[in-house]
Structures are given as structure tokens and as C-alpha cells.
Chains A and B, each alone.
Chain A
């Protein structure tokens, strides 16, 4: 079995501490500079407007957003220049820069907001899984980002949830 081919980037927002190391790692590895703007993965801090108060604790979360490498990629469907291809080795969707027009249609249709735009090059860019070894997952200190085989991808999440369930069973009813 080709290991990389069946792996997927998994994120567990409950574990993310918002250190943003994945973002600077991504931009450094792919663009040679630390920059949140130039990162393929974006950690959205859902505290922006809510530094002071929140109604629900669940609102306070750092949600990683990145390309899911969809099996039926809408970016590819809508690209007028046929500039998005799947890498046969890593199964990542890659931008063919000889073809990309910079029209940003893919940004419009992507359900995850995973397509990003480089204002210098005037082309889009996206997560291409770092040739099969995603640096963000490698550098994540909290285990919130992992690169796992698809069939066991949600095991860490199940593990977290199972702990919550155990906790719930321990609390006596009021």
C-alpha cells in the first residue's frame, strides 16, 4: 500500500492551542518566509470579537482550515483553465502554474476556503501536502494536526470524545 496516498490531514480543534506554529512552518517551508498570509493552512481564532465575553464555551476554539484534498474537488470542476490536477503519488490537488489564470474561481467554489491568493505572483496557491510529508502536522506541538491513514483518521477524535463520555458518566445526575 502506498502510505502517503491514503493519508489525510486531520485536525482536532479541541486540542489546538493557537500557537500558529503550523502557519509559520507552512509559509517558511513553501515560501521561505514566516507569514500568516502566505500559509496554506489557516488557524481561525474564534475569539476575535469575543475577547471579553462569550455565551458558549464551545465558541472559543481555534479552527484549522485547510484543503481536504476532496475526492470530488470543486476547484477542479470549476477551473476554466484546467489548472488543478491530482498528484498521483500524494493524491494532493496541485496547481499547475503554467495554466493558472489567477481568476480565483476556485476560491469562490471551495467549500473550505482552502484556496489562497498570492498578490505578488497573482496566482492562487493551496496545500499540496509538502510532497507527502506535511510540515504543519510534523511541527504541531499539541497533536491537533496529524497526518493519518484515512481509515483511522478519526481515531484521535473518538479518543477525545470517549474521555468526555466517561466524564459525563461519572458526574452524578443533579
Chain B
């Protein structure tokens, strides 16, 4: 049988401890079985994972771009950052913006960062050249200021950066990484992993082109895709209200007086974020981009209704400190409820009056969490450990963050290793076929992550959006490599199973079992506790010890 066609990719391995970097081709069997993107990234994470003894040890980080990153496809903008979470399980982020395309134009598809740097440093990737540079002067800087200062230092506005904020440096277990204004969605402590490695940022600049195999056909096909995406119900909803008001289009008017236009990632036609400029308050003059509606709802719950300016300002501070928006919302709300009931006094809060009306105090508390000062240092331990420290043992306190997830969202979150990007846009599903729909979504989203395209405009959300067949065609027209839809599906299933294995081996907390979740596990070929069955491992070529 002739060998199957497989994509090629270049992998840069950087050892922060020795300062050595080397670039090689992606191993043929990885390219063959996982194709690329996050799927190949998960395999690289397995290959390069340090067996960690210390939860906050400098575990290795893999950054992966997709097969079509920076190419002619709808929103082919994604970068996937993967590592092991300080809280156990995997940490991962999918970042849009322009970082991924720039990395590919710089001649690299995957980066593997191992070891720990002696002092705070940043990585510079410039047209295939990789350097480790001193970042001690950036210590304590916000994620946004770091990006801005690196562009100044390198004297190039086209440099794209990925950075951590003070929270990552201080190893806050729910710190994230940020690129551009892309919000740090739930990442399970990826920022802390960067911090543990003394890695403040990654700056990339690429001027090399990515050759397109069939340029005119690829452009035509892309135009066709774009037209159908924009005509779809989901596309229209995202375009009109953005991700931030996806749940309630009428509320979109609330943002009108702050909005200074819309923004999209590389090559995206849906521009799902509003750009805003804050005119008053502690963040006056700050520029930001809106979050998705789940995150907005979490902060609406902190401040109360019709507090758009406060919610937007919270977005700015989360972004600046590099904190997980959902986890932080839960902690702030909890601290506020303790304060209101006198469980926390002014002495413990360090003089902060934690009232919903006092947003300056809320933002200061966020800063203290990010910098690990006073009460912030206690809260940075996370809800459970913070409760042990500040509450008597017999005290029950249930003021927690309720995301009000519908059944489809709840299942997708419980079944996923990473927080799915599409979660906020999932319509409630009926009980029937809930698990099958969730598994199909996970497969399709993983296939989109192989290509490096944003899953908000794929069949993950609606059947009239591009799915496996269209993905296959896009890959062919751009790269000339034939990857049949079934092979994409199989690679996605393999990646999901490997993700699952790695997540369990690294001590991920198990989600409570529900009948739809058990059904999902069965569809994926896993046992009733979500452990991949031996025959599944065999079928996917993951062997006894993958």
C-alpha cells in the first residue's frame, strides 16, 4: 500500500535552561496520525512532558499552530498552548488574534519550550531564528504593557506577542496567557506554568510567505465558505451582537456608548468582539475588547445588572493581570458575600470595602490577587484552600459562581479536557441525543483545531456551517495534501483519546458522572469512568502504552 500523504511541519525545541534551540521536522508518524494543530500538539506534549514531581514545577509547554494557520481559510488564526496544570490535569489555551499566523510566517509550526530560565526572560522568534532574551525589566508588568514594550524594544509594530501578567509571574494557579487583546479564557493555570519557567513572553515576527498550492481555487473556495458562514443563523447572530451579547441581542445596545468599533482575528469575517474605550473610573483611557457572554454573565453577577462600564473595566483588569475571568469572578463574588455578612472585616480586606457598588475596591482586590498581596494572596490559593484559611472549619458558605449552563453546555464542559471556546454559543439541547451531539461537536472542534481555524464558524455550532468535508477541501486547496474527511475524524478521535489519557495521568479532577456523560464516554470508546478502553487504544493505534 502506498504511504498516505501527510502534511509537513517545523518544530522548534527551546531549552530555557541552556539557552539552546533547535529546529527539526515534525516526526513522520506524528504528522501521519495527528496531522497537525492541537492534535499534533497533544502528541508533542506527551513526547516532551516532564514527569513532574512538583505541581508548580517548570512543566513543558507546547505551542501549536494549525495546518491552515495564516492561510486562505475562514479565521485560520488559532494558536494552541498546552501544558500540565498546576492544579492537576492539562492546561490549555486556544488563542486567536495574529500570533499563530505570524509564527508560521516566521517559519515554525510548533514550539516546545522545556526547562527553566535562570532569570525572567522572553523568547524571540524572528524568521526562523530563535533567541532567549532578558526580560527582567518587564517584571511585574501587565500583559498589555509587556506587549507594547516589546514592540518598542524591538522597534517593530508588527511583532506579535504572547505574554503573562503579574499573576503568572506570581504563580497564581488560575493565571493565563494573553495575546493582543484576546482574553484569557479558562486555561487552568497556563500562565503559572510560564511563570514557573521564568518565561514572561514570546515575541514573533515573520516575513516569509506561506505558499498556497492552488491560489485561485483556494480564494474562490474561501469566498464561498465565507458567504455561507455569514448567511447562517449563527454567523448573523455573531455579527450583529458579538460574542458578548450572543445570548441576548437586544442587550447589545448597552455597549453602544463605549464601543469604538468591532474587531476580528486574522482572516475572520464575523468580528465577534467589540473594541471599547473606557472614559471614566480606575481604568479611564484603557482600551479593550469584549469577552464572550458566559464571562460577561459571571461579571454581571458580581456587579449587578446594567453595570456595563464596570464589567468592561473588569475585563481590562483581568486582561492586564492575566487572570482567569471565571475563576476570578467566583472568588471576588465569594469575598464580597463574606464581607457583607461580616465574615471578612476591613482589617482582613486591608481596608477594601467590598461592595458591588464599589468597583474601585473590586479592581484593587483583583490586583492584589494578581500580585498576591494580603487577602489577594489567600484568595489566589483558590476557593477551597482559601476557605480553609479564612473560615472556621464548621462554616458553610455556598455563595459560588453559578454559570447557569444549559444541558448541552454542562455536558460539553464536563466531557472536555479544555474549556471549549464554543461553549457560550451552544443552544440548549433536548435530553435525546445530547451525548451524541456533544461528542460530534468535540470531534468537529478538534478537527477545526487540527486546521487551526476558529470553531465558532464550523459545524460545531450548526449543520449549515463548514464541517469535515469542507475542512478536507480547504486543506487540499491550500497545501495540496489530500486528507479525507474520515481521516480527519479519526485523527480527531485519536487526539481526544490521548488528551483524555494525559489528563487522567496528570491528575485531572473527575467530573461528576451523569447518564449523558457516561453515554458520551461510551461513544468515545471509553469506559464508564471515562478511561479509554484497551480496544479503543488498539483501534486508534495508541497501543498499550501510547
Tell me if A52 and B144 are in contact (CB < 8 A).
Answer: yes
Within 8 A of B (CB), among A31-57: 31-38, 45, 47-55, 57
Across the interface, A29 reaches (CB within 8 A) one of B219, B226, B230, namely B219
Tell me if B226 and A141 are in contact (CB < 8 A).
Answer: yes
CB distance from B529 to the nearest CB of A (A): 43
**Does A149 interact with chain B (Cβ within 8 Å)?**
no
Tell me if A17 and B287 are in contact (CB < 8 A).
Answer: no
**Does A104 interact with chain B (Cβ within 8 Å)?**
no
**Which chain B residues border A21 with CB–CB below 8 Å?**
267-269
Bound Cα distance A59, B265 (Å): 20
Tell me if A48 and B157 are in contact (CB < 8 A).
Answer: yes
Tell me if B72 and A24 are in contact (CB < 8 A).
Answer: yes
Across the interface, A60 reaches (CB within 8 A) one of B152, B222, B275, namely B275
**Which chain B residues border A28 with CB–CB below 8 Å?**
72, 212, 215, 218-219
Residue picked from A17, A33, A45, A57, most chain B C-beta under 10 Å: A17
**Does B427 interact with chain A (Cβ within 8 Å)?**
no
Across the interface, A37 reaches (CB within 8 A) one of B209, B218, B222, B263, namely B209
**Does B207 interact with chain A (Cβ within 8 Å)?**
yes
Given A29-B215, A60-B277 in contact, is the A35-B105 Cβ separation under 8 Å? yes
Bound Cα distance A128, B267 (Å): 23
**Which chain A residues border B207 with CB–CB below 8 Å?**
35-37
**Does B28 interact with chain A (Cβ within 8 Å)?**
no
CB distance from B8 to the nearest CB of A (A): 16
Q: Which residue from chain B places its CB closest to the CB of A18 in the assembled complex?
A: B263
**Which chain B residues border A37 with CB–CB below 8 Å?**
207, 209
Across the interface, A34 reaches (CB within 8 A) one of B152, B212, B270, B286, namely B212
**Does A20 interact with chain B (Cβ within 8 Å)?**
yes
Tell me if B209 and A19 are in contact (CB < 8 A).
Answer: no
Q: Which residue from chain A places its CB closest to the CB of B102 in the assembled complex?
A: A36
**Which chain A residues border B286 with CB–CB below 8 Å?**
52-53
Tell me if A17 and B148 are in contact (CB < 8 A).
Answer: no
**Does B285 interact with chain A (Cβ within 8 Å)?**
yes
**Does A162 interact with chain B (Cβ within 8 Å)?**
no
Q: Which residue from chain B places its CB closest to the CB of A35 in the assembled complex?
A: B209
Tell me if B263 and A45 are in contact (CB < 8 A).
Answer: no
Tell me if A53 and B215 are in contact (CB < 8 A).
Answer: no
**Does A154 interact with chain B (Cβ within 8 Å)?**
no
Per-residue CB contact flags for chain A residues 111-122 toward chain B (1 = under 8 Å, else 0) read: 000000000000
Tell me if B72 and A34 are in contact (CB < 8 A).
Answer: yes
CB distance from B284 to the nearest CB of A (A): 9
**Does B174 interact with chain A (Cβ within 8 Å)?**
no
Within 8 A of A (CB), among B436-468: none
Within 8 A of B (CB), among A113-146: 135, 138-139, 141-142
Q: Which residue from chain A places its CB closest to the CB of B180 in the assembled complex?
A: A51
Tell me if A49 and B261 are in contact (CB < 8 A).
Answer: no
Given A45-B157, A53-B286 in contact, is the A31-B267 Cβ separation under 8 Å? no
Q: Which residue from chain B places its CB closest to the CB of A30 in the assembled complex?
A: B215
Within 8 A of A (CB), among B308-351: 320
Given A20-B267, A48-B157, A52-B286 in contact, is the A34-B70 Cβ separation under 8 Å? yes
Tell me if A29 and B285 are in contact (CB < 8 A).
Answer: no
Tell me if B208 and A35 are in contact (CB < 8 A).
Answer: yes
Bound Cα distance A18, B181 (Å): 13
Q: Which residue from chain A places its CB closest to the CB of B320 in the assembled complex?
A: A52
Tell me if A17 and B215 are in contact (CB < 8 A).
Answer: no
Tell me if A34 and B210 are in contact (CB < 8 A).
Answer: yes
Bound Cα distance A24, B76 (Å): 11
Bound Cα distance A11, B251 (Å): 30
Tell me if A19 and B269 are in contact (CB < 8 A).
Answer: yes
CB distance from B182 to the nearest CB of A (A): 12
**Which chain A residues border B226 with CB–CB below 8 Å?**
139, 141
**Which chain A residues border B287 with CB–CB below 8 Å?**
47, 50-54, 60
Per-residue CB contact flags for chain B residues 209-240 toward chain A (1 = under 8 Å, else 0) read: 11110011011001100100010000000000
**Does A27 interact with chain B (Cβ within 8 Å)?**
yes
Tell me if A52 and B142 are in contact (CB < 8 A).
Answer: yes
Bound Cα distance A75, B267 (Å): 31
Tell me if B277 and A54 are in contact (CB < 8 A).
Answer: yes
Given A45-B157, A48-B157, A54-B287 in contact, is the A19-B267 Cβ separation under 8 Å? yes
Chain A residues engaging chain B, CB cutoff 8 angstroms: 14, 17-21, 24-25, 27-29, 31-38, 45, 47-55, 57, 60, 135, 138-139, 141-142
Given A32-B211, A142-B271, 4 extra CB contacts under 8 A = A31-B209, A48-B158, A50-B287, A54-B285
Closest 6 CB pairs of A and B: A48-B157, A33-B209, A35-B209, A141-B269, A17-B271, A19-B264
**7 A/B residue pairs, CB under 8 Å, sorted by A:** A17-B268, A25-B72, A49-B157, A50-B287, A51-B145, A141-B230, A141-B269
